[in-house]
């Protein structure tokens, strides 16, 4: 059972425009969320996180929004750059279950120059 879902396997955006990557989850106990970026044949790189006490967290060009009632989070990248082209994974954790994170299936972002 996929508790974290990324329904868009791929996304293409023009350079300079906004990229919006979406993630939905089913477990209402999830209280900590992260976004990772992954290049082919490399391990994921941490991008940004958000806890359930917040609805927004911003770090430079990256902003994560959390809508707890909808069990939905999104990652906004603005402005998008060609170097942002990668696979983006969202991950979620319920604190009362320890350190296990559940990952989505990823969204492949292509930023077109």
Binding site for another protein (CB under 8 A): 2, 4, 9, 32, 34, 36, 41-46, 49, 89, 93, 98-106
Complex with another protein: residue 63 or 102, whichever CB lies closer: 102
Complex with another protein: residue 20 or 44, whichever CB lies closer: 44
Least distance to another protein from the beta carbon of 10, Å?
Answer: 10
Paired with 46 in beta bridges are 36
Least distance to another protein from the beta carbon of 46, Å?
Answer: 5
CB 93 within 8 A of CB 99: yes
Q: What does the block give as tokens for 112? A: 């077109």
DSSP one-letter code for 97: G
Cβ neighbors of 12 (< 8 A, separation 6 or more) are 109, 110, 111, 112
Least distance to another protein from the beta carbon of 79, Å?
Answer: 26
């Amino acid at each position: 059972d996929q508790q974290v879902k990324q329904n868009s396997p791929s996304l293409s955006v023009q350079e300079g425009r906004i990229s919006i990557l979406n993630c939905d989850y089913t477990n209402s106990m999830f209280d900590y969320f992260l976004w990772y970026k992954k290049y082919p044949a490399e391990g994921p790189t941490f991008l940004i996180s958000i806890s359930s006490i917040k609805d927004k967290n911003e770090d430079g060009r990256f902003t994560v929004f959390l809508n707890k009632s909808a069990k939905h989070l999104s990652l906004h990248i603005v402005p998008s750059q060609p170097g942002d082209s990668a696979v983006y994974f969202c991950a979620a954790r319920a604190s009362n279950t320890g350190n296990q994170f559940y990952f989505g299936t990823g969204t492949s972002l292509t930023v077109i120059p």
